[in-house]
Structure 1
């Protein structure tokens, strides 16, 4: 069997996971507090959405959803304009592999990963024995998907999926997710209040969409519920292991590794020109069934290796388009911060905060505030 877990990548901490609440035509308006929630993820009155929800009732019934489940599932939900905005504004963002790995296998993520593995080693090793999937790979996916459970998402899944089904850009896909989410409630795996996730409906510690949950989630704890939402990650980790096992994972085979660094035999790829080469195996392709990206699969594999005690990559990456190496970019961030232009850390990844710091510094010394780094800018910082 080969089923793609989801048709979109949420990335590693690439989206803000926010909370919301609201109303719909199928239930009374929630009286819970919405203070502190982002405005575009709070339910907004929308007559057309209400009409769509009313028409959906019949289709849901044909799919086996009871009136009671519809009533409880939609109670306190509503149209979320922020979900539509995020779905329509998904652009093809090109990040170099070097930058991606700087985030995926950052010192903080490695440290947290080793600590998380230590806390849950009994469960992770038992899952490896049962499903054949390397325990560190399971842990690494957990780390990339939700920062080891810290960023699971607070958006009600029924609100998110119904909003995106109504919007229509990927209406059929999200209506399937909505029906699957309602079946989760009908089966008693969780409650409407706990059925939360990302703005696009990905849920739990390892970010399953509802249809993939239905296909692969397991009740490993034996409590009668496939609970991927609770603070206990056991069912989520087991579900991830089950997913990989059913999507081609080979027991005892490494994912791959850096060429020249004890890599297994496999297909050689070089995702970034001038950067390290990797020999990858069929298990690399199994990871890509979770998220169809070479960078993601290398990120999972490399983070897993680091959690397991391996060192950093030996190969180097070439300078970027501005002529700066990663060490140069780290130095740039440190020097800007020292001069009072905060870059929010020094990881060598020049994101929006670093670009703003560059612009502010340029303005302060009479230069055009382009926000673009350069070797000259680095030298000017002393």
Structure 2
């Protein structure tokens, strides 16, 4: 059954919340009855469904009224509040998405199989040809390669074809009301209201993901305020419909986040036999020349790129490919703090420029650990005295460091990669 969710008037909320709530409760019941008449719910009575929704929506109305006070103090005008909150609604699927944490994770090669698929590369090359004027103008202005911009475009919205369909104001209000990340959601909602107040986008066209990310390269509202650019000169920063604005905004974000023009993000490398894997933790940085002195080589034998501050990365452990990555890789991480994402952007950009694919085979025989298995791994490491931090089922730097120390204690290759074999050994 689809439940129709009522809409609220900001002016009514501000003037007379109690009266609004009384009327609102009747409206919910009437709306629910109408929907039920069209699609009767099997084995479910209205009495068991409507009161819970009514009580929630009353609390949501009070939250909007309270938030509006803070918004006014932040400089949001009554006209903007009226435009934004006239018709505001609670969206259940936003809280469902926010609370959902997948039990099973993906391996990096599974992620890259889809992120850098042949279909995405071919479509990206076609879209890049179509968007060349906008992409090249942004690349020239900000010093970020066109293929990097196109790769982020492809990763975030499949080159503009999937930008999301959830009203940003409603999504952020729902997240703020739900409360798990209320402070964050309130700050993003204030930023979204400022975007409306600036006239960059009409309320009806401000849509995006359930988490409030917007436009063809998925900017959060605070990032929009900080980095969005009106490149086409129409007086609006339109990352939904204007390709010049999309590309310039994305390039501006990267440039101001530390992108170094003329440097690659990194490349695949070959490690010499017996290489100390403790050095390949993605954190230890040294000039590429120092890595070369330790025997690290490019796949084609050419000199390593002249990176002054490079690290080695083993995203699949000792049995998979190795990469040397520089400052621009870390800049991509500021766009999305996921190693798999940053690697996908770099490799997709490489493919769009007809560069080489990853040559070393991925260890596809290895199974990704589920969240509960990672939790068990972290717990077992802590019990044995290898501190992995508070067990949470999410493998981060502390977990990888603990795995490395445990592997080292057993004389195993200390690559920090969690495997089922390692979990079984610990248990």
- The Cα of 1:67 is off from its aligned counterpart by 0.9
Q: CA deviation at 1:93?
A: 5.3
Residue of structure 2 aligned with 1:170, choices 181, 184, 203: 181
Distance in 2 (CA, whole Å) between partners of 1:122 and 1:23 is 42
Tell whether 2:67 aligns with 1:23.
no
Q: What is the CA distance between 1:261 and its match in structure 2?
A: 3.1
Structure 2 residue aligned with 1:283: 328
Q: State the 1:75 CA deviation.
A: 2.1
- Structure 2 counterpart of 1:100, from 111, 117, 120: 111
Give the Cα–Cα distance (whole angstroms) in 1 for the partners of residues 5 and 321 of structure 2: 46
TM-score, normalised via structure 2 length: 0.65
Report the secondary structure of 1:193's partner residue.
helix
Deviations along 1:187-206, whole A, 9 cap, x unmatched? 00010100111111100000
Question: 1:319 aligns to what?
Answer: 364
Structure 1 contact 149–233 (Cα < 8 Å) conserved: no
| Alpha-carbon shift at residue 21 of structure 1 (Å) | 8.5
**CA displacement at 1:312 relative to structure 2:** 1.9
Q: Which residue pairs with 1:133 in the alignment? A: 144
User: CA separation in 1, counterparts of 2:230 and 2:6?
Assistant: 30
Contact 2:91 2:174 in 1 (8 A): yes
Identify which of structures 1 and 2 has the higher relative contact order when contacts are C-alpha pairs closer than 8 Å and 6+ apart: 1
Once residues 364 and 100 of structure 2 are traced to their aligned partners in structure 1, the CA distance between those partners, rounded to angstroms, is 30
Aligned pairs for 1:1-382 (under 5 A) are: 23-26=7-10, 46-91=57-102, 94-230=105-241, 232-259=242-269, 260-261=298-299, 264=305, 265=307, 266-273=310-317, 274-321=319-366
Kindly indicate whether the alpha-carbon contact (under 8 Å) linking 2:215 and 2:240 is maintained by their aligned counterparts in 1: yes
Give the direction of change, closer, same or farther, for the CA distance of 1:116–1:322 in structure 2 (3 Å limit). Answer: same
Larger radius of gyration: 2
Aligned residues of 1:25 and 1:54 also touching (Cα < 8 A):
no
Q: 1:322 to 1:197 in 2, by over 3 A?
A: closer
Cα distance, 1:149 vs structure 2: 0.6
Deviations 1:211-242 (A, max 9, x none): 11111111011110000112x32211111100
TM-score, scaled to structure 1: 0.72
In structure 1, the gaps of 5 or more residues are 1-19, 35-43, 324-382
Shift of 1:111: 0.8
Which runs of structure 1 show a deviation greater than 4 angstroms over 4 or more consecutive aligned residues? none
Q: Over residues 42-65 of structure 1, what are the superposed CA-to-partner deviations in whole Å (9 max), with x where a residue is unaligned?
A: xx6511001110111111100001
Secondary structure at 1:48 match in 2: helix
Q: 1:277 to 1:80 in 2, by over 3 A?
A: same
Shift of 1:95: 1.4
Is the contact made by 2:134 and 2:243 (CA closer than 8 Å) also made in structure 1?
no
Partner-residue secondary structure (3-state), 1:47: helix
Unaligned runs of 5+ in 2: 13-26, 36-52, 270-297, 369-427
Look up the SS of the partner of 2:312 in the other structure: strand
- Matching residue of 2:49: none
For the residue of structure 2 that corresponds to 1:70, the secondary structure is: helix
Supply the distance in 1 between the matched residues of 2:349 and 2:63 (Cα, whole angstroms). 44
Instruction: Answer 1 or 2: which has greater helix percent.
Output: 2
Displacement of 1:320: 2.3
